[in-house]
Structure 1
Amino acid sequence: MAKVMAVLSGGYVDEENDYVTGWWAEELFEPVLALQDEGHMVGLASPEGGKPVVDPISLSEEYDPEGKYKKLYESGIADKTTPIVDVKASDYDAIFIVGGHGAMFDLAHNKDLHAIINIVYEHGGIVAAVCHGPAPLIYTKTKEGRGILEGLNVTGYPNDQEPKEVVGLLPFSLEDEMRRIANYSEGSGEKEHVVWGSKQILTGRDPHSSALFGRELATRLTQREQEKEDAFFSNP
């Protein structure tokens, strides 16, 4: 069983423009379900801890027609998160950053999160992010000063899918920033699109890719756990 830390935006409010955002429901729940199906344990963290703000649109009928994610949200499983500063990164085999526009506001430049990402990475763990979740990875640098995504194949939410009414409110373009340092792939024509940039870096394009993203992460972690077990028993 691997231990995974899922990191959520605490939420962002722009009262002047009547804009509220946070983490995206499908992008938390689908990967968590996939990880749990494989027997892995998932913890939750956010900048301030407690109950982070979910993007209300992600629970709307348009994006959650069957009410699957609303039911999971209302069950309270995402009500308690650990403050990022209190996360002991060395305890985890992987970290994944949940998408939603909120990640661009309070996770992108969060130094404590950058440190956690680096510790997981330097211990050989997997660093993963879906949709707008790669925002903090763009600005995470290794101890050698190299960008953690530098030169890798990556994906994330594309410019042409951003709602026009939101674009002017965002602090930056995720796609543009990813293209600046990495090899960005939109996965045109693919309903689901995920990219392994290396054995340790996984990115997913959008909400529709969340389930595949979760399965890829879960399967890789299971394989790694099996490899550890095999190595242990072959070296008495």
Structure 2
Amino acid sequence: MSPRILHVVTNTAHFDDPSHATGLWLSELTHAWEVFEQHRFEQTIISPAGGYVPLDPRSLKFPAKEKTAEAWLADPARMALLGDTPRASEVKAADFDAVYFAGGHGAMYDFPDNTDLQRLTREIFEAGGVVSAVCHGYCGLLNTRLSDGSLLLDAREITGFSWLEEKLALVDKLVPYDVEKQSRERGASYQKAKLPFAPFTVADGTLITGQNPASAKETAERVAELLATLEPGR
């Protein structure tokens, strides 16, 4: 049986200020999807509320550089996967070997406090599966507690979109919180690349995180490498 990947994407279409649109950073999904597709993994996309997945308009400005995103946009069947996603509450953790949280600033809003996402993450992690996130996807890990009550991030080495990158992206006045700071407050050993926006990933056992959009492919590759060492279909 091929490993089964659960992709998690946001339903949030704007910042607190409705005039500033956000959503899924498309290439963070498409780069990972391509890597997993090449490994012939089974893949499913869900969202916290189910249904339509908005795309961050800024993530669509780089089609020449993001070939996987460009190809996805041109494929009606692929786009349909984002038109009507299953709700997190409808999904069973036992059906998957790994969860991959894609980012985009929308994830800052509907990932952290969704109890169904927390359940899926906890159960996949405690069953020996892989938990992964890229960029703002790690917002989905902030409040996840394990069965013993401890925070998943406590004493774990991780990365994710940095506060410096928020400033350089000119959104530090728009974001609802500093997720780098929040992760540290939950006990995480947060790490980041020496240069902002450079590819950077961190693996701590079966927890794998990538810092920014440029890290999506590398994050997925490390997930695939780890899954090859685990028994699929637990």
**Unpaired segments of 5 or more residues in structure 1?**
230-236
CA distance in 2, matches of 1:67, 1:148: 32
The alignment status of 1:49 with 2:50, answered yes or no, reads: yes
Task: Report the structure number with the largest CA radius of gyration.
Answer: 1
Cα shift at 1:165: 4.0
- Runs of 4+ aligned residues of structure 1 deviating over 6 Å after TM superposition are none
Cα shift at 1:75: 1.6
Residue 221 of structure 2 is matched in structure 1 by 215
CA distance in 2, matches of 1:140, 1:22: 22
Q: Which amino acid aligns with 2:45?
A: L
| Alignment root-mean-square deviation, CA | 1.9
Distance 1:127-1:14 versus aligned 2 partners, 3 A rule: closer
CA distance in 2, matches of 1:30, 1:153: 23
Q: How many residues align?
A: 224
* Secondary structure of the structure 2 residue equivalent to 1:129: strand
Deviation string for 1:194-218 (max 9, x for gaps)? 10122x1000000111111111111
Residue 132 of structure 2 is matched in structure 1 by 128
CA distance in 2, matches of 1:172, 1:109: 14
Q: Which amino acid aligns with 1:85?
A: S
**Unpaired segments of 5 or more residues in structure 2?**
none
Q: 2:161 aligns with which of 157, 161, 176?
A: 157
Sequence identity (%): 28
CA distance in 2, matches of 1:15, 1:192: 29
Q: 1:113 aligns with which of 108, 114, 117?
A: 117
TM-score (norm 1): 0.88
Q: 1:173 aligns with which of 154, 178, 187?
A: 178
* Secondary structure of the structure 2 residue equivalent to 1:44: strand
Task: Write the mapping of 1:75-90 to structure 2, written as runs, cut at 5 A.
Answer: 75-76=75-76, 77=78, 78-79=81-82, 80-90=84-94
Cα shift at 1:220: 1.4
Q: Which amino acid aligns with 1:116?
A: L
CA distance in 2, matches of 1:18, 1:70: 25
Answer yes or no: is the 8 Å Cα contact 1:11–1:54 preserved in 2: no
Cα shift at 1:172: 1.0
CA distance in 2, matches of 1:54, 1:88: 26
The alignment status of 1:194 with 2:201, answered yes or no, reads: yes
